[in-house]
Structure 1
C-alpha cells in the first residue's frame, strides 16, 4: 500500500499523522511500500496559496500526483490510502491516475 497526505506547511505533526495511518493499515494486514507527502505553502509563492481551497480533483499538485502514480505502478501497489478525507469523485479520479484502489483513512 501507498500512504498519501496533503498537509499545510504549518502542520508540524504530519509525520506522526502518517505513522498513525501506517499503524492502522498494518493492523488491517496491509504492508506499506511507499509514503508521499504534499506540503502546502512550502515552496516559493506557496505561502500565498495557503488560503486557496484544495484541488477538487486530486488534492495534490500535478507533479506529486504523477510521482504517486509512478510509484504505485512500479511497486505494484493495490491500494493508496490518503490521510485526508476524499469525495467519491476524488477517489475515482485518483484511482484512474494511480491504477489502484484509493481509500481515505476514514474508510479503515
Structure 2
C-alpha cells in the first residue's frame, strides 16, 4: 500500500493518518479526504458520500462501511450502531489511480 503514497502526494494529497484498515489522505488545497484501503486484487479508495452526491460525474462502485473512515458520516448498516461509510472506487493499476486523482482535483 505504501508504494501508492507518491501518487497521492503528486496529486496534492498528504498522508494524515495510517492504520491497518486504511490510510487517510487530505488534499492541501481543497481539504477533501480520501481513504486508501488495503485489498488483494485492485487499488481501492473511499470518497466522502457528501462529495460523491454533490459531484454527479462521480460514479461509485458501492458503499463501503468501516470504523477507519473517521472523517466521514455515519449510517446504520448491519450492526446495532451507526458506522462510518463512503463510496468505493476501484482501479486496476497505479496509472488509473493517478488519472482519477488528477481529474478529481479538477471537478
* TM-score between the two structures when normalised by the length of structure 1: 0.33
Which is richer in strand? Answer: 2
Which is richer in helix? Answer: 1
